[in-house]
Amino acid sequence: MQVILIQDVNNLGGSNELVTVKNGYGRNYLIPSKLAVEASPSNLKQLNERLKQQAKKEAKLLSAINDVIIVLSNGALKIGAKTGTSGKIFGSVTSVQIARAIKEQKGYEIDRRRITILNEVKELGSFKAKIDFGNGNETEVEFEVVAE
């Protein structure tokens, strides 16, 4: 029996996936539990339409991510920090400060948890941070730490 999964089912498949299961498992568990529907021609047509809509959304999201990556790669961010006489900064630069600088200077709000600073920042100079947008989309952002 072929069924279309509505939700993710362990050891079987993910949502919007067409799978073959034994008749009893499909009729007695998956369909009554609202985990799957029978793979009738009308349900298959609905599945194809959902997959097309999902592909359009992903393409739109990917183009938006690419636009953000292009804007972030143009020019370095400037982050102000209080320094001592030797040029070392008090504390260190964190992902929160980088996220705030991106919002103020580039106009995009990025979650601080997506930002990874590659090297520890304890002095003035240029550094790099990595931003992970998910699905394998990531970029490196240059930022310059300057004295306030």
SS3 10: coil
Q: How far apart are CA 10 and CA 81, in angstroms?
A: 49
Residues 6 or more apart from 68 whose CB is under 8 A from it? Answer: 108, 133
Let me know whether 83 and 48 are in one domain: no
pLDDT tens by residue, 57-66:
988 988 888 8
Q: Which domain holds residue 89?
A: 68-147
Most confident of 38-52, 96-110, 126-140: 38-52
CATH number at residue 46: 3.40.5.10
Domain boundary among 16, 44, 66: 66
- Residue 75: pLDDT band (50, 70, 90) is confident
Let me know whether 76 and 139 are in one domain: yes
Let me know whether 57 and 77 are in one domain: no
- How many percent of the chain have pLDDT more than 70? 100
Could you give the number of structural domains in the chain? 2
pLDDT tens by residue, 30-48:
999 999 999 999 999 999 9
Q: Is the Cβ–Cβ distance between 35 and 14 less than 8 Å? A: no
Let me know whether 93 and 124 are in one domain: yes
